[in-house]
Amino acid sequence: MRTTFKQLRYMIALAEEGSFVAAAERVHVSQPALSLQIKEIESNLGVDLFERLPREVRLTRAGQVAVDRARQILAEVADLEKAVRDQKGLSGSLKLGVIPTVAPYLLPLAVTEIRARDLMLELRIREAQTDRLIEELKRGRLDAAVMALPIAEKGLVAHPLFDDRFLLAGSKGRLAALADRGEALRPTEIVPDQLLLLDEGHCLADQALEVCGLRGRGRVDLGASSLSTLCGLVAEGFGLTLLPEIAVRTEQAAQSGLSLMRFKGAEPKRTLALVRRETTTDDGWFTELAGILTNAGQGLLTHARQVSQP
Protein backbone atom coordinates (compact mmCIF):
# COMPACT_ATOMS: atom_id res chain seq x y z
CA MET A 1 0.00 0.00 0.00
CA ARG A 2 1.26 3.48 -0.86
CA THR A 3 1.74 6.17 1.75
CA THR A 4 -1.07 8.75 1.69
CA PHE A 5 -1.17 12.47 2.45
CA LYS A 6 -3.40 11.65 5.41
CA GLN A 7 -0.74 9.35 6.83
CA LEU A 8 1.89 12.06 6.40
CA ARG A 9 -0.29 14.44 8.41
CA TYR A 10 -0.74 11.81 11.11
CA MET A 11 3.02 11.23 11.24
CA ILE A 12 3.73 14.96 11.63
CA ALA A 13 1.07 15.29 14.33
CA LEU A 14 2.60 12.41 16.31
CA ALA A 15 6.10 13.87 15.95
CA GLU A 16 4.95 17.28 17.19
CA GLU A 17 2.66 16.10 20.00
CA GLY A 18 4.92 13.34 21.32
CA SER A 19 2.07 11.01 22.25
CA PHE A 20 -0.54 8.93 20.44
CA VAL A 21 -3.36 10.31 22.60
CA ALA A 22 -2.58 13.97 21.89
CA ALA A 23 -1.89 13.33 18.21
CA ALA A 24 -5.17 11.43 17.79
CA GLU A 25 -7.08 14.30 19.37
CA ARG A 26 -5.34 16.78 17.10
CA VAL A 27 -6.26 14.97 13.86
CA HIS A 28 -9.70 13.92 15.15
CA VAL A 29 -9.34 10.12 14.97
CA SER A 30 -9.22 7.38 17.58
CA GLN A 31 -5.90 6.35 19.08
CA PRO A 32 -6.05 2.80 17.60
CA ALA A 33 -6.78 4.24 14.14
CA LEU A 34 -3.81 6.58 14.39
CA SER A 35 -1.55 3.79 15.62
CA LEU A 36 -2.60 1.58 12.69
CA GLN A 37 -1.83 4.30 10.16
CA ILE A 38 1.63 4.90 11.66
CA LYS A 39 2.39 1.17 11.54
CA GLU A 40 1.37 1.12 7.85
CA ILE A 41 3.77 3.97 7.06
CA GLU A 42 6.60 2.18 8.85
CA SER A 43 5.75 -1.03 7.01
CA ASN A 44 5.72 0.77 3.65
CA LEU A 45 9.10 2.40 4.33
CA GLY A 46 10.64 -0.65 5.99
CA VAL A 47 11.94 1.30 9.02
CA ASP A 48 10.84 2.32 12.50
CA LEU A 49 9.98 6.01 12.52
CA PHE A 50 9.26 6.31 16.25
CA GLU A 51 10.67 5.00 19.49
CA ARG A 52 7.75 3.83 21.68
CA LEU A 53 8.57 4.74 25.29
CA PRO A 54 6.33 4.22 28.34
CA ARG A 55 5.06 7.80 28.45
CA GLU A 56 6.01 9.30 25.10
CA VAL A 57 7.17 8.64 21.58
CA ARG A 58 10.32 10.00 19.98
CA LEU A 59 11.47 10.19 16.39
CA THR A 60 14.21 7.87 15.25
CA ARG A 61 16.87 9.22 12.89
CA ALA A 62 14.93 7.84 9.96
CA GLY A 63 11.77 9.32 11.43
CA GLN A 64 13.29 12.80 11.53
CA VAL A 65 14.18 12.56 7.85
CA ALA A 66 10.69 11.31 7.03
CA VAL A 67 8.95 14.09 8.99
CA ASP A 68 11.09 16.81 7.40
CA ARG A 69 10.30 15.50 3.91
CA ALA A 70 6.62 15.11 4.78
CA ARG A 71 6.43 18.77 5.78
CA GLN A 72 8.00 19.79 2.48
CA ILE A 73 5.59 17.58 0.53
CA LEU A 74 2.51 18.92 2.28
CA ALA A 75 3.72 22.51 1.83
CA GLU A 76 4.08 21.90 -1.91
CA VAL A 77 0.63 20.32 -2.03
CA ALA A 78 -0.78 23.42 -0.33
CA ASP A 79 0.97 25.55 -2.97
CA LEU A 80 -0.56 23.42 -5.71
CA GLU A 81 -4.04 23.75 -4.25
CA LYS A 82 -3.65 27.50 -3.90
CA ALA A 83 -2.36 27.88 -7.46
CA VAL A 84 -5.37 26.03 -8.84
CA ARG A 85 -7.89 27.70 -6.53
CA ASP A 86 -6.70 31.30 -6.78
CA GLN A 87 -6.64 32.07 -10.48
CA LYS A 88 -7.29 35.81 -10.33
CA GLY A 89 -4.54 37.43 -8.31
CA LEU A 90 -5.35 38.37 -4.73
CA SER A 91 -8.55 36.37 -4.27
CA GLY A 92 -9.77 33.17 -2.65
CA SER A 93 -7.83 32.90 0.60
CA LEU A 94 -4.69 34.44 2.07
CA LYS A 95 -2.72 33.41 5.15
CA LEU A 96 -0.38 36.28 6.00
CA GLY A 97 2.23 36.46 8.74
CA VAL A 98 3.60 39.72 10.15
CA ILE A 99 6.30 40.45 12.73
CA PRO A 100 5.05 42.23 15.91
CA THR A 101 6.97 45.48 15.27
CA VAL A 102 5.12 45.90 11.98
CA ALA A 103 1.67 44.39 12.49
CA PRO A 104 -0.06 47.09 14.61
CA TYR A 105 1.12 49.90 12.35
CA LEU A 106 0.98 48.54 8.80
CA LEU A 107 -1.94 46.10 8.99
CA PRO A 108 -4.81 48.55 9.71
CA LEU A 109 -4.05 50.45 6.51
CA ALA A 110 -3.17 47.42 4.39
CA VAL A 111 -6.15 45.29 5.43
CA THR A 112 -8.53 48.15 4.65
CA GLU A 113 -7.16 48.28 1.11
CA ILE A 114 -7.20 44.48 0.73
CA ARG A 115 -10.84 44.35 1.80
CA ALA A 116 -11.73 47.21 -0.54
CA ARG A 117 -10.43 45.17 -3.47
CA ASP A 118 -12.17 41.90 -2.58
CA LEU A 119 -14.67 41.61 0.26
CA MET A 120 -14.91 37.85 -0.32
CA LEU A 121 -11.21 37.21 0.33
CA GLU A 122 -10.70 34.83 3.26
CA LEU A 123 -7.93 36.57 5.19
CA ARG A 124 -6.06 35.03 8.12
CA ILE A 125 -3.37 37.00 9.95
CA ARG A 126 -0.62 35.47 12.08
CA GLU A 127 1.51 37.79 14.22
CA ALA A 128 4.74 36.18 15.41
CA GLN A 129 8.49 36.65 15.57
CA THR A 130 10.65 36.03 12.50
CA ASP A 131 11.82 32.50 13.33
CA ARG A 132 8.26 31.33 13.90
CA LEU A 133 7.00 32.92 10.67
CA ILE A 134 9.77 31.31 8.64
CA GLU A 135 8.93 27.91 10.11
CA GLU A 136 5.23 28.33 9.31
CA LEU A 137 6.05 29.48 5.78
CA LYS A 138 8.16 26.38 5.21
CA ARG A 139 5.39 24.14 6.55
CA GLY A 140 2.79 25.72 4.26
CA ARG A 141 0.77 27.23 7.11
CA LEU A 142 1.36 30.72 5.69
CA ASP A 143 1.24 31.95 2.10
CA ALA A 144 3.48 34.96 2.76
CA ALA A 145 4.96 36.96 5.63
CA VAL A 146 6.18 40.50 6.27
CA MET A 147 9.55 40.62 8.00
CA ALA A 148 12.86 42.48 8.01
CA LEU A 149 15.75 41.55 5.75
CA PRO A 150 18.09 39.74 5.52
CA ILE A 151 16.48 36.30 5.34
CA ALA A 152 19.12 33.58 5.19
CA GLU A 153 16.73 30.63 4.97
CA LYS A 154 16.92 28.71 1.70
CA GLY A 155 13.79 28.08 -0.36
CA LEU A 156 12.27 31.51 0.31
CA VAL A 157 11.86 34.53 -1.99
CA ALA A 158 11.86 38.08 -0.58
CA HIS A 159 10.33 41.13 -2.28
CA PRO A 160 11.59 44.37 -0.62
CA LEU A 161 8.75 46.74 0.31
CA PHE A 162 10.41 49.86 1.73
CA ASP A 163 13.17 51.13 4.04
CA ASP A 164 12.00 51.94 7.55
CA ARG A 165 14.41 54.34 9.28
CA PHE A 166 14.95 54.47 13.04
CA LEU A 167 14.40 57.57 15.17
CA LEU A 168 15.54 58.15 18.72
CA ALA A 169 12.51 58.34 21.02
CA GLY A 170 12.37 59.73 24.53
CA SER A 171 10.86 62.43 26.68
CA LYS A 172 11.15 66.05 25.61
CA GLY A 173 13.53 66.76 28.48
CA ARG A 174 15.91 63.90 27.68
CA LEU A 175 16.10 64.72 24.00
CA ALA A 176 16.52 68.44 24.74
CA ALA A 177 19.51 67.58 26.92
CA LEU A 178 21.07 65.69 24.03
CA ALA A 179 20.34 68.55 21.62
CA ASP A 180 22.02 71.02 23.99
CA ARG A 181 25.34 69.37 23.26
CA GLY A 182 25.38 71.42 20.09
CA GLU A 183 25.84 68.58 17.63
CA ALA A 184 23.60 65.96 16.08
CA LEU A 185 23.60 62.54 17.67
CA ARG A 186 24.96 59.33 16.19
CA PRO A 187 23.54 55.92 17.20
CA THR A 188 26.90 54.77 18.59
CA GLU A 189 26.89 57.70 21.05
CA ILE A 190 23.86 56.46 22.98
CA VAL A 191 24.73 55.43 26.53
CA PRO A 192 23.98 51.67 26.70
CA ASP A 193 22.27 51.86 30.08
CA GLN A 194 19.79 54.42 28.72
CA LEU A 195 18.68 52.27 25.78
CA LEU A 196 15.50 50.24 26.33
CA LEU A 197 15.01 47.24 24.04
CA LEU A 198 12.36 44.69 23.20
CA ASP A 199 12.59 41.20 24.63
CA GLU A 200 15.08 38.76 23.12
CA GLY A 201 13.85 37.13 19.94
CA HIS A 202 12.53 40.34 18.39
CA CYS A 203 14.62 41.18 15.34
CA LEU A 204 14.20 44.89 16.09
CA ALA A 205 16.10 44.44 19.37
CA ASP A 206 18.99 42.79 17.53
CA GLN A 207 18.98 45.56 14.92
CA ALA A 208 19.04 48.23 17.63
CA LEU A 209 22.07 46.63 19.28
CA GLU A 210 23.81 46.44 15.92
CA VAL A 211 23.22 50.04 14.83
CA CYS A 212 24.29 51.31 18.26
CA GLY A 213 27.46 49.22 18.15
CA LEU A 214 26.53 47.32 21.32
CA ARG A 215 27.44 43.71 22.11
CA GLY A 216 24.77 43.26 24.75
CA ARG A 217 22.07 44.89 26.78
CA GLY A 218 22.64 47.50 29.45
CA ARG A 219 22.01 47.12 33.14
CA VAL A 220 18.30 47.92 32.64
CA ASP A 221 16.77 44.98 30.77
CA LEU A 222 12.97 45.15 30.85
CA GLY A 223 12.22 42.40 28.35
CA ALA A 224 9.30 44.40 26.93
CA SER A 225 7.14 42.55 24.42
CA SER A 226 5.87 45.56 22.47
CA LEU A 227 7.02 48.93 21.17
CA SER A 228 4.01 50.52 22.85
CA THR A 229 5.35 49.48 26.25
CA LEU A 230 8.76 50.98 25.50
CA CYS A 231 7.23 54.20 24.18
CA GLY A 232 5.11 54.59 27.32
CA LEU A 233 8.21 54.25 29.49
CA VAL A 234 10.49 56.59 27.55
CA ALA A 235 7.71 59.20 27.23
CA GLU A 236 7.77 59.39 31.03
CA GLY A 237 11.53 59.96 31.06
CA PHE A 238 12.63 56.39 31.68
CA GLY A 239 15.44 55.93 29.16
CA LEU A 240 15.50 56.06 25.36
CA THR A 241 14.54 53.67 22.58
CA LEU A 242 14.74 53.33 18.81
CA LEU A 243 11.42 53.81 17.05
CA PRO A 244 10.77 52.77 13.43
CA GLU A 245 9.19 55.46 11.27
CA ILE A 246 6.10 53.34 10.57
CA ALA A 247 5.30 53.38 14.30
CA VAL A 248 5.51 57.16 14.75
CA ARG A 249 1.89 58.06 13.97
CA THR A 250 0.40 55.46 16.30
CA GLU A 251 2.83 55.86 19.20
CA GLN A 252 2.85 59.66 19.25
CA ALA A 253 -0.95 59.66 19.24
CA ALA A 254 -0.94 57.28 22.22
CA GLN A 255 1.86 59.01 24.18
CA SER A 256 1.58 62.79 24.35
CA GLY A 257 4.97 63.07 26.05
CA LEU A 258 6.84 61.16 23.34
CA SER A 259 9.44 63.21 21.46
CA LEU A 260 11.65 62.21 18.52
CA MET A 261 15.11 63.01 17.26
CA ARG A 262 16.76 62.08 13.97
CA PHE A 263 20.31 60.81 13.83
CA LYS A 264 23.20 62.55 12.10
CA GLY A 265 24.41 61.41 8.68
CA ALA A 266 23.26 58.09 7.26
CA GLU A 267 20.24 57.16 9.36
CA PRO A 268 20.00 53.58 10.66
CA LYS A 269 17.19 51.61 9.04
CA ARG A 270 15.66 48.23 8.37
CA THR A 271 14.34 46.96 5.05
CA LEU A 272 10.94 45.33 5.28
CA ALA A 273 10.04 42.65 2.75
CA LEU A 274 7.22 40.34 1.75
CA VAL A 275 8.46 36.74 1.78
CA ARG A 276 7.05 33.57 0.18
CA ARG A 277 8.26 30.08 -0.68
CA GLU A 278 10.06 29.59 -3.99
CA THR A 279 7.58 26.86 -4.86
CA THR A 280 4.58 29.16 -4.46
CA THR A 281 3.20 30.29 -7.82
CA ASP A 282 2.80 34.06 -8.20
CA ASP A 283 -0.12 34.51 -10.56
CA GLY A 284 -0.38 38.14 -9.52
CA TRP A 285 -1.47 37.78 -5.89
CA PHE A 286 2.03 38.21 -4.44
CA THR A 287 2.89 41.25 -6.55
CA GLU A 288 -0.50 42.82 -5.82
CA LEU A 289 -0.12 42.25 -2.08
CA ALA A 290 3.41 43.69 -2.12
CA GLY A 291 2.06 46.82 -3.82
CA ILE A 292 -0.65 47.27 -1.19
CA LEU A 293 1.82 46.89 1.66
CA THR A 294 4.30 49.27 0.04
CA ASN A 295 1.66 51.96 -0.45
CA ALA A 296 0.47 51.62 3.15
CA GLY A 297 4.04 51.88 4.41
CA GLN A 298 4.86 54.92 2.31
CA GLY A 299 1.95 56.78 3.85
CA LEU A 300 3.28 56.10 7.34
CA LEU A 301 6.83 57.08 6.34
CA THR A 302 5.63 60.36 4.86
CA HIS A 303 3.84 61.23 8.10
CA ALA A 304 6.90 60.38 10.20
CA ARG A 305 9.16 62.58 8.09
CA GLN A 306 6.74 65.48 8.32
CA VAL A 307 6.54 65.46 12.12
CA SER A 308 10.20 64.74 12.91
CA GLN A 309 12.82 67.33 12.20
CA PRO A 310 16.36 66.35 11.05
Rounded to whole angstroms, how far apart are CA atoms 209 and 61?
Answer: 38
Higher pLDDT, 86 or 46: 46
Confidence of residue 216 (pLDDT cuts 50, 70, 90): low
- Contacts of residue 196, Cβ cutoff 8 Å, sequence gap at least 6: 220, 222, 224, 230, 233, 234, 238, 239, 240, 241
12-31: average pLDDT: 92
Residues forming beta bridges with residue 238, ordered by sequence position? none
- Tens digit of each residue's pLDDT (9 = 90 or more) over 22-63: 999 999 999 999 999 999 999 999 999 999 988 889 999 999
Residue 13 pLDDT exceeds 70: yes
What pLDDT was estimated at residue 219? 47
What pLDDT was estimated at residue 84? 63
Contact between 97 and 126 (Cβ < 8 Å): yes
What pLDDT was estimated at residue 222? 58
The proportion of the chain whose per-residue pLDDT surpasses 70, expressed as a percent, equals 87
Cα distances (Å, whole numbers) of residue 176 to 44, 261, 266: 72, 9, 21
What pLDDT was estimated at residue 50? 93
Rounded to whole angstroms, how far apart are CA atoms 251 and 121?
Answer: 30
- Tens digit of each residue's pLDDT (9 = 90 or more) over 97-132: 999 999 999 999 999 998 887 767 788 999 999 999
Rounded to whole angstroms, how far apart are CA atoms 27 and 10?
Answer: 7
Determine the Cα angle at 210 with ends 209 and 216, to 5°.
Answer: 40
* Total number of residues shown for the chain: 310
Cα distances (Å, whole numbers) of residue 258 to 121, 194, 218, 254: 38, 16, 22, 9
Higher pLDDT, 307 or 164: 164
What is the pTM (predicted TM-score) of this model?
0.71
Q: What does the mean pLDDT of the chain come to? A: 85
All structural domains of the chain, each given as residue ranges with its CATH number in brackets, are 5-82 (1.10.10.10), 86-310 (3.40.190.290)
